[in-house]
Amino acid sequence: MAKESPFEKKFVEESEKSDLPGVLDQLSLPPALVEFARANQRAIKTIVIAVAVVVVAWSLFDAYRANRLQKSDSALYAGLQVAGDEKSGALEKVVADYAGTPASTWAQLELGHAELNDGKFAQAVERYTSVRESVGKKSPLYPLITYGIARALEAQKEYAGALAEYEVVKGIEGFESIGTLGMAKIHEIEGRKKKALEIYEQHLSSFEGEQQNNPDKILIEEKIARIRATM
């Protein structure tokens, strides 16, 4: 009988190829855990591979997202540098190509400001409203967008809607003064001078202890004096 060579490959069962007794033993794991690992090698391998696939996929997605954000920021910057009608076209392209990014949001706001300045009040209201719905109430942009809607409605002489929007602004911390002045202005425009005066005076009381040269305080005092002179 021929002597068996130590270099001759032996047939190994497929189920035994994946067995790693040495590794498991070196880890000093409890016998029960080692036995479980050996008995469920295929399932464990499947889980490990699945986790690896998820990790790789997530890394690729992160890289894609970072690249997209960078491109959207560059596109927005380029669009803001353009003048005239071409600027609107460039910003609309940012909105279309990079929907859901901060750059797209800013592009829409810039377009809304342009529409407001160009007298396209209905378009500005529609755009502002769309952006506001997408960012939500917790966004720091929410009060600014709401103020834009109020201004556009006021410019259209839709005073009831403008008053409601100014009231929303008034209820947001840090924007109380802007909202209050807007509300009083609407009441004054519609001839409700007594109501406007009441709002101005109530707001003026919030400046108690402020210096006399406070510009906001001076502005309100002037408005109060003007209304009283016409009553």
Residue 187 covered by a domain: yes
Residue 108 covered by a domain: no
What CATH number does the domain containing 173 carry? Answer: 1.25.40.10
Residue 203 covered by a domain: yes
Identity of the residue numbered 99: A
Find the angle CA(44)-CA(9)-CA(40) to the nearest 5 degrees.
15
Question: Which of the 8 DSSP states describes residue 8?
Answer: S
d(CA 192, CA 181): 14
Residue 189 covered by a domain: yes
Find the angle CA(205)-CA(177)-CA(128) to the nearest 5 degrees.
160
Residue position matching structure tokens 């600014």: 144
Residue 99 covered by a domain: no
Range of the domain at 204: 119-231
Segment 214-227, tens digit of pLDDT: 888 888 889 899 88
Query: In angstroms, what CA-CA distances link 108 with 80, 125, 154?
Result: 12, 12, 20
Query: In angstroms, what CA-CA distances link 25 with 22, 32, 42, 46, 128?
Result: 5, 12, 19, 22, 65
Question: What's the domain count of the chain?
Answer: 1
Segment 102-130, tens digit of pLDDT: 888 998 999 999 999 999 999 999 999 99
Give me the helices (H) in 14-40, please: 14-17, 21-26, 31-39
Most confident of 16-20, 29-33, 127-131, 135-139: 127-131
Q: Ramachandran region of residue 209, left (φ > 0), alpha (ψ -120 to 50) or beta? A: left
Question: Which of the 8 DSSP states describes residue 207?
Answer: G
Residue 81 covered by a domain: no
Segment 47-95, tens digit of pLDDT: 878 887 888 777 776 675 677 778 888 888 888 888 877 888 888 888 8
Segment 124-173, tens digit of pLDDT: 999 999 999 989 888 999 999 999 999 999 999 999 999 999 999 999 99
Residue 170 covered by a domain: yes
Average pLDDT for residues 26-38, to the nearest whole number?
Answer: 66
Residue 209 covered by a domain: yes
Name the average pLDDT for the chain.
82
